Amino acid sequence: MKFVLVSLLLVAAVAAERFYYEGYKVYDMYPSSIEEVDFLHELMLTDDNLDFWEEPNRMGGKVTVMVAPEHQSTFVGAVQAENLIMSIRHEDLGEHVKQFWEDYDTRRSQRAPGILIDFDDFNTLEEIEEWMYSLESSECAAQGLFCEVRNIGSTYEGRDILSLRLVSEYGVDSTVTRLVDTYDWYFVPVFNPDGYKYTHDNARYWRKNRSPVSSTCYGVDLNRNHDYNWGEEGVSHSPCSDLYCGESGASELETQAVQDEITRVNGLSGIQVLMTFHSYGNMWMHPWGNTINFNGVTCERADDHDDMYSLAVVTADAIQATHNTRWSRGTSCEVIYETTGGTDDWAKGVEGVKYTICPELRGNDFVVLPSQIALSFQEIWNGLVAQEAELNVRQN
């Protein structure tokens, strides 16, 4: 048994080589007409060599794309042919990534021994898992809470997907007490453990899971893979695309695990609110992602759209008020662009959860400074408190 473990560790050590994005450029573009937005959207869905950080938005604004050195001249040529306004955000992303790892390694070498997790820094998958188990075994009880860790499924590479259930009877802070007394809370800190680990060991900007999807490419965009309106809009069917939606709805183990867990918990007493947190972009979004009849023009709105939207307004306003930021709110189709196969759409469309929300946390890069973590927590916390207060009013 020991030999098996050792060989697995060796394989992992060989595979874990940091990718530095040397010579990669990041471009900002400012489409000034619907035609230019459509051009970029088409490019996003058809050109697997482009990684869009910020998607073309029919409401205008900035579009950001990361391009590898060998594809830059083709890309720039195509954009210039359309006379699009463009600027370069990162002349060499490699410098930015190198700096990130240097700072990260320095901070980690200074981390006090015995600390399981650092809430002001990024933690590894192993640290998050160890922390969750320690909550279950001792930390929660010390706070008068009851915590339970559950393995809700496996990833392609065989890792556990862990969910934490938090229940309490009383607490010190009255707001926290009310929130925990009124609801059972379930957390899945890492939906995509293989991809998360890959962003720590290999490529910091990796987005998808890690299942091999063609002879040369890996990964399905799990937020395009859910089994509701699967594969219809704003997705790519090309395995090498960052927006690849998979071979079929819920083809991926991670998607299946999360869907099954949502179904299970919803069957216990009904899920009141489901939030699927993403990064980045200061957006508080809710269903639907699709357009009417998938016509690509008019965004579909649910029958209870006003309920969802007004709750999003209350929540986003409280977030904004915390650190004076700006947050878009509304259906994901209207706020960004049409997409299908997202977690929020699936949970509402299939499981009938009334409030399903997809927040895109603060930032203007997938790699954010650790100094943003506490600020992000503070504003989201205020948003959640306001959201719960509003729901409370509606239920009484």
Distances, alpha carbon 13 to alpha carbons 18, 98, 198, in Å: 11, 20, 12
Residue among 376, 382, 377, 333 at smallest CA distance from 358 = 333
Rounded Cα distance between 89 and 91, Å, is: 7
With contacts defined by CB under 5 A, name the span among 71-79, 235-243, 273-281, 375-383 that binds Zn ion: 273-281
What is the smallest separation between the CB atom of 278 and Zn ion, expressed in angstroms?
A: 3
| Residues 219-258, mask of contacts with Zn ion (x by CB under 5 A) | ----------------------------------------
Q: How far apart are CA 219 and CA 225, in angstroms?
A: 11
| Binder of Zn ion out of 62, 89, 178, 278 (CB under 5 A) | 278
Number of alpha carbons in the 13 Å side-chain half-sphere of residue 195 = 22
Distance CA 8, CA 2 (A): 10
179 or 258: CB nearest Zn ion: 258
Beta carbon of residue 389, minimum distance to Zn ion (angstroms, whole number): 26
The answer to whether the CB of 147 falls within 8 A of the CB of 136 is yes
Q: How many other CB atoms sit within 10 Å of the CB of residue 80? A: 10
118 torsion bin: left (phi>0), alpha (psi -120 to 50), beta (else): beta
> Distance from CA of residue 122 to its chain's centroid?
15
Q: Closer to Zn ion at the Cβ: 26 or 145?
A: 26
By CB under 5 A, residue 366 contacts Zn ion: no
Instruction: For the CB of residue 128, give the shortest distance to Zn ion in the complex, in Å.
Output: 20
CA distance 29 to 15: 35
Specify the residue, 147 or 258, whose C-beta has the smaller distance to Zn ion: 258
Cis amide prior to 337 (ω within 30 degrees): no
Choose between 278 and 354: whose C-beta lies nearer to Zn ion: 278
Smallest gap from Cβ 176 to Zn ion, in A, equals: 28
- Rounded to a whole number of angstroms, the minimum distance from the CB of residue 364 to Zn ion is 14
Sole window of 147-155, 239-247, 278-286, 304-312 interacting with Zn ion (rule: CB under 5 A): 278-286
Going through 110-179 in order, the beta strands assigned E by DSSP cover: 145-154, 160-168
Q: Using CA atoms, how far apart are residues 138 and 367, in angstroms rounded to an integer? A: 33
Nearest-approach distance from CB 339 to Zn ion, in angstroms: 9
Nearer of residues 98 and 278 to Zn ion, judged by Cβ: 278
Q: Active site residue: 254, 360, 379, 388, which one?
A: 360
| 129 a catalytic residue | no
Stretch that binds Zn ion, among 8-16, 147-155, 171-179, 274-282 (CB under 5 A): 274-282
Give whichever of 40 and 336 is closer to Zn ion, judged by the CB atom.
336
Per the CB < 8 A criterion, the answer to whether 207 and 174 are in contact is no
Contacts 24+ apart (CB under 8 A), 308-311: 308/354, 308/355, 311/355, 311/387, 311/390, 311/391
CB of 242 to Zn ion, least distance (A): 12
Q: How far is the CB of 44 from Zn ion (least distance, A)?
A: 14
Of the pair 223, 387, the CB lying nearest Zn ion is at 223
Residue matched to tokens 């604004």 = 61
* Alpha-helical runs (H) found in the chain: 2-15, 34-46, 72-81, 93-109, 125-134, 140-142, 174-182, 193-201, 253-269, 305-323, 332-335, 343-349, 371-395
Listed ranges 76-84, 131-139, 206-214, 272-280: which one lies at the site for Zn ion (CB under 5 A): 272-280
CA contacts within 13 A on the Cβ side of 47: 20
Taking CB under 5 A as the binding criterion, the range among 109-117, 180-188, 275-283, 329-337 that sits at the site for Zn ion is: 275-283
The size of the interface with Zn ion (CB under 5 A), counted in residues, is 1
Closest chain position to Zn ion (CB) = 278
Residue with smaller CB distance to Zn ion, 123 or 343: 343
Q: For Zn ion, which stretch binds (CB under 5 A), given 127-135, 270-278, 307-315, 374-382?
A: 270-278
Give contact residues for Zn ion (rule: CB under 5 A): 278
Annotated catalytic residues are: 360
